[in-house]
């Protein structure tokens, strides 16, 4: 019996531990599952503006990827998890920042995805508070499902919208180039 207990303890010690990446005081989980899709943490970082930390964001993909263009273009399940960590970021401000991010990501051509952008922006504008956690989950057959604190809020359909959304942080004109590198697992 003692040998069996020792063997079990040894196996437990050798198994990879499920853990989370720590960004500031936020534990960003290594794995998330949405609609049967297991997604792994590709990278995570903090969005700061001037001297203020506004939110922590994690990018989840099926497997670790470092090619931003491939992530943006991919028509496969992936997600962004956003932890609101500052009370300086109101729903109205975050909605404006997000809208501006879409303008940058699409090089000013919002017309084809205007309705979907409005859906996401309105979700932020009407609900966002400090300590909220948003999951923006792209599922090819559904679109981007918007969750706030684990509760489904809305859906914004289409691959083109998903590409613009992920482009906010990963395009050639991201909101922050250092954060882009962190999301790509390069820092």
Q: Give a yes or no: residue 84 inside a domain.
A: yes
The pLDDT tens digits of the residues spanning 50-89 come to 888 899 999 999 999 999 999 999 999 999 999 999 988 8
118 found inside a domain: yes
Considering the domain boundaries, does residue 167 fall inside one? yes
Flag whether 11 is in a domain: no
| Mean pLDDT value of segment 100-121 | 95
Asked if residue 18 has pLDDT above 50, the reply is no
Residues of the chain with pLDDT > 70, as a percent, come to 89
Question: What is the SS3 string spanning 97-131?
Answer: HHHHHHHHHCCCCCHHHHHHHHHHHHHHHHHCCCC
| Domains held by the chain: number | 1
For the segment 2-21, the average pLDDT, to the nearest whole number, is 45
Residue 44: inside a domain: yes
Range of the domain at 174: 21-183
16 in any annotated domain: no
Whether residue 94 lies inside any domain: the answer is yes
Tell me if 123 sits within 8 A of 165, measured CB to CB.
Answer: no
- The CATH code of the domain that includes 152 is 3.50.70.10
pLDDT for 15 beyond 50: no
Task: For residue 15, give the DSSP letter.
Answer: S
Q: What is the pLDDT of residues 124-162, one digit of tens each?
A: 988 789 999 999 999 999 999 999 999 999 999 999 999
pTM of the shown model: 0.86
Reduced to 3 states, what is the DSSP secondary structure of residue 113? helix
Write down the pLDDT at residue 19: 55
Terminal alpha carbon distance of the chain: 47
pLDDT of residue 23: 81
Does a structural domain hold residue 117?
A: yes
């Amino acid at each position: 019996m003692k040998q069996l207990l020792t063997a079990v303890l040894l196996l437990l010690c050798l198994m990879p531990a499920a853990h989370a990446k720590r960004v500031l005081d936020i534990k960003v989980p290594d794995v998330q599952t949405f609609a049967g899709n297991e997604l792994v943490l590709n990278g995570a970082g903090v969005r700061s503006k001037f001297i203020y930390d506004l939110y922590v964001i994690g990018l989840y993909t099926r497997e670790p990827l470092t090619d931003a263009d491939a992530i943006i273009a991919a028509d496969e399940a992936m997600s962004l998890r956003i932890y609101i960590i500052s009370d300086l970021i109101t729903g109205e401000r975050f909605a404006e920042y997000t809208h501006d991010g879409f303008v940058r990501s699409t090089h000013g051509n919002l017309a084809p995805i205007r309705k979907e952008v409005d859906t996401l922006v309105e979700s932020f504008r009407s609900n966002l508070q400090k300590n909220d956690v948003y999951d923006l989950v792209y599922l090819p057959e559904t679109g981007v499902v918007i969750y706030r604190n684990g509760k489904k809020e809305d859906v914004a359909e289409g691959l083109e919208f998903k590409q613009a959304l992920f482009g906010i942080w990963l395009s050639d004109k991201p909101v922050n180039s250092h954060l882009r590198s962190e999301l790509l697992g390069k820092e």
